[in-house]
Amino acid sequence: MEKFYIGAAYYPEVWKESEEEKDIARMKELGVNCVRIGEFAWGKMEPEEGKFDFDWLHRVVDRCHKAGIDVIMCTPTCTPPRWLLDKYEETRRVNSNNVREEVSSRCHPCKTNKKMREKNAVITERLAKEFGKHPAVVGWQLDNEIYPVGCYCQDCIRAFRQYLKEKYGTIQNVNEKWGMARWSLDYKDFDAVLPPRDGQWRHPSLLVEWTRFHSRQIFTYLQEQAKIIRKYSAAPIGTDMMRTNMLSYYEMNAELDVVQYNHYEPARQLPDTAFAYDFLRCVKEKPFWVTETQVGWNGSEFAEYGYRPVGACYANTWLPFAKGASCNLYWLFRTHPNGQELAHGALVSTAGRPYRVSEEVTRAAKELKRCENVLAQTKIVSRIALHYSSTAVKNFAYAPLMKGFDYREALVRKFYGAFRHYNIDVIDTPHSLDGYDVLLSPFLATADENGLKERVTDWVERGGKWIVGPMSDIMTDYASKYTDAPYSFLEELAGVYTKYQLPVGNDVYRAKTKGGTVFSLSDCYDAYELRGAESLAEYDGGEFNGMPVVTRKKVGKGEVIVLGSVLPHEQLRQLVGIAPLAQASENVSLTLRSGEQSVLIAVETENKAGELQLGGKYRDLLSGALLEGKIEVSPYAVLILREE
């Protein structure tokens, strides 16, 4: 049976040995059953080159195991020791100004440098040999918070040019696809290509490919470590990734075992945190791990993200488990006594005293223990999918087209937010479409990648409903526009001709359905002529008055619905045509987990009373109460409801 974890990151290298047993006792009191260890401790593991010390780490892991606390062991490759970085200075990143990084905090390594990878392999193998069979070690974390931050050393520049050569073949192809004739910027050969520098020329195609190159370097950097660990351990391996999909979750996790996720949003963003969970669950289609989130507040030199109201930490602890996680770990267990991040919240203060918010974690841990069987025996089944594309992240980051446009924010607020009472999968373009009735693809800048054109066409013909747009299918995967039409294939498939486009964010246009319903539009405006499609809504007034803005075309057994603008939530739900899991107020997130004993999980996410309308009698597995009809959901409450 799947085991469920609530825990924290722990740094025994920071503390005296006399504090270890006290901390482990505190962990037990707070309900912690898993800790992450080792991610920054290379200097303690290898204090001198070739001289290793794991006795201290064995002592801690053994003590955790004796106390019934499992361990996620981390490779320390994010923080090579000072002796290594000083002796082999070529292992340190070179920044955009051609200055090699000073030895200061962390994340120094160049991901391309051979010496760095050689040293990574040595420490990873020694660590895997020591702990690969240890019964306490239930998983591995590779490196820490990887992100495609550029290194401008000569090794990286040469490797980047080779990457371009492999992808484009000839420099003439690069010049043509990137449009380098403009401003007379044609490259003579690949050696003429220079990486983008901070504050300088921002060519979208160059920026996209520079990011994609560093993503490839990170992938191989991690795979080298994973292959070593697998020789000694059967425990699942992952890497803790951040909030953005700039570094593709699907690509990075393709050959890893478990998706790991770090996030630090303020309390007011809790309603949107579910978006990440509905995405992470689909990357490997198995339980994911939250490897870092804040207990009460984030902070380095000073506390950030404001006050977290009573109950926010409790709801933040439960929400990922409702959405498909099997692990939720806080950063960190005990606030550091010195150095950076003195202001960061934790389960326990520097003096070893729990914070008030820690009581909420303890409460959730006790409840989770009671509900393990229900969670392990149920799963989330979705009929609706929403695209969240790593390629679109990069394209809109470097060519947003509208001032202030934030792809992820627009996706979450304007589309995902309409479906808080539905099971919905958030997927990237490589994901299979089998099993879905409806696919939403807004702001899908590049729709013709990973075979999506053929796959989505086949899926529609077999009966799927594709709701696509706005601003979809408008760019190549290297952020260039199409020249034959505004889209690569959408007009032909959807039976429309795009007469006008207005890519501005003015919220001044309205639309009217055939039935006379009038609603507001926002963000961008395409006006169509029909070429086999029918109009579902037309512009009501303004320069596009009477022109279609929402169209539908039957394709085989299915249909393609094109959105020329952003619609209100209610109109989106009507187009989808699927009933919600239950009627509830917008501040209540709902998830149905199906199995022999299905459960409906409700989480209030906005610190205000909400309502839920039940269609029968339900038992709340947390309180034991029997509920029916319209019920009140208290601020930050969690209900796990089983129909009686």
CATH number (domain holding residue 526): 3.40.50.880
Contact 305, 298 (CB under 8 A): yes
DSSP H helical ranges for 323-356 = none
355 and 239 belong to one structural domain: yes
* Rounded (10°) angle between helices 55-66 and 114-131: 40
Which tokens go with 592? Answer: 């149905």
Residue 361 in this model has a pLDDT that exceeds 90: yes
As a whole number, mean pLDDT of residues 315-336 equals 97
1, pLDDT greater than 80: no
71 and 14, same domain (yes or no): yes
CB count within 10 Å of CB 563 equals 27
CB count in 10 Å sphere of residue 328: 27
- Domain boundary (377, 406, 435) is at 377
Residue 336 domain-assigned (yes or no): yes
Read off the tokens for 513. Answer: 């359905």
Whole-number Å distance between alpha carbons of 598 and 582: 14
365/480 same-domain check: no
In a domain, 157, yes or no: no
Distance of CA 160 to the CA centre of its chain: 26
Within a domain: residue 625?
A: yes
Q: Is residue 635's pLDDT more than 80?
A: yes
Query: According to the model, what pLDDT value does residue 24 have?
Result: 98
Given 377, 399, 422, the domain boundary residue is 377
Domain with 629 in it: 583-643
Residues 570 and 453 in one domain: yes
Distance of CA 218 to the CA centre of its chain: 17
- Distance, in Å, from the CA atom of 54 to the CA atom of 639, rounded to the nearest integer, reads 44
Q: 166 in a domain, yes or no?
A: no
User: If you ran DSSP here, which 8-state letter would residue 148 be given?
Assistant: -
Give dist(CA 317, CA 330) in Å, integer: 9
User: Do residues 413 and 219 touch, judged by C-beta distance below 8 A?
Assistant: no
Same domain, 507 and 533: yes
User: What's the one-letter identity of residue 423?
Assistant: N
Whether 122 contacts 114, CB under 8 Å: no
Domain co-membership, 42 together with 136:
yes
Nearest of 559, 385, 561, 558 to residue 472 by alpha carbon: 561
Q: CATH number for the domain including 613? A: 2.60.40.1180
More confident residue, 468 or 503: 468
Question: Contact at 8 Å (CB) between 427 and 384?
Answer: no
Q: Is residue 338 part of a domain?
A: yes
Of 362, 91, 356, 409, the residue nearest 243 (C-alpha): 409
Question: 15 in helix, strand or coil?
Answer: coil
Residue 345's DSSP bridge partners are: none
**Predicted local confidence at residue 473, as pLDDT:** 98
pLDDT greater than 90 at residue 256: yes
Quick one: 332 and 395 in the same domain?
no
| Half-sphere exposure (Cβ direction) of 443: Cα atoms closer than 13 Å | 32
Q: What are phi and psi of 140, to 5 degrees?
A: -130, 140
pLDDT band at 337 (very low <50, low <70, confident <90, very high): very high
**pLDDT > 90? residue 149:** no
Nearest Cα residue to 41 out of 68, 24, 61, 27 = 61
Cα 23–Cα 24–Cα 29 angle in degrees, nearest 5:
95
E strand map for 282-341: 288-292, 298-299, 303-304, 325-330
| Alpha helix positions (H), 377-451 | 390-398, 407-414
Beta strands in 260-320, from DSSP E residues, in sequence order:
260-262, 288-292, 298-299, 303-304
Does 552 lie in the same domain as 503?
yes
Please check whether residues 10 and 71 belong to one and the same domain. Answer: yes
Number of alpha carbons in the 13 Å side-chain half-sphere of residue 122: 15
The helix/strand/coil state of 378 is coil
Which of 548, 576, 604 terminates a domain? The answer is 576
Statement: residue 304 has pLDDT above 90: no
Single-letter amino acid code for the residue at 202? R
Distance, in Å, from the CA atom of 481 to the CA atom of 485, rounded to the nearest integer, reads: 9
Task: Say whether 616 sits in a helix, a strand or coil.
Answer: strand
Task: Please tell me whether the peptide bond between 329 and the residue prior to it is cis, using omega within 30 degrees of 0.
Answer: no
What average pLDDT score do residues 336-355 get?
A: 93
How far is the CA of 394 from the CAs of 167, 174, 245, in angstroms? 17, 18, 9
Q: Is residue 80 part of a domain?
A: yes
Beta partners for residue 242, in sequence order: none
Band (200; pLDDT cuts 50, 70, 90)? confident
User: Do 127 and 75 form a contact (C-beta atoms < 8 A)?
Assistant: yes
**pLDDT grade, residue 441 (50/70/90)?**
very high
Token reading at 68: 């019934």
Q: Which residues pair with 219 in a beta bridge?
A: none
Indicate whether 547 and 463 sit together in one domain. Answer: yes
Residue pair 616/628 in contact by the 8 Å Cβ criterion: yes
When divided into structural domains, the chain yields a total of: 3
Query: Residue 431: which of 273, 555, 594, 251 has the closest Cα?
Result: 251
Do the domain assignments include residue 11?
yes
Q: What is the pLDDT of residue 252?
A: 97
Per-residue pLDDT band at 196 (split at 50, 70, 90):
very high
Query: Mind listing the pLDDT tens digit for each residue in 532-575?
Result: 999 999 999 999 999 999 999 999 999 999 999 999 999 999 99
Residue 505: pLDDT above 80? no
Residues 286 and 348 in one domain: yes
- Same domain, yes or no: 607 and 563: no
pLDDT category at 385 given cuts 50, 70, 90 is very high
Tokens 């998706």 map to which residue?
259
Average model confidence (pLDDT) across the chain? 96
Query: Is residue 354 in a domain?
Result: yes
CA angle, corner 610, sides to 604 and 613, nearest 5?
105
Residue 380: CB atoms within 10 Å: 19
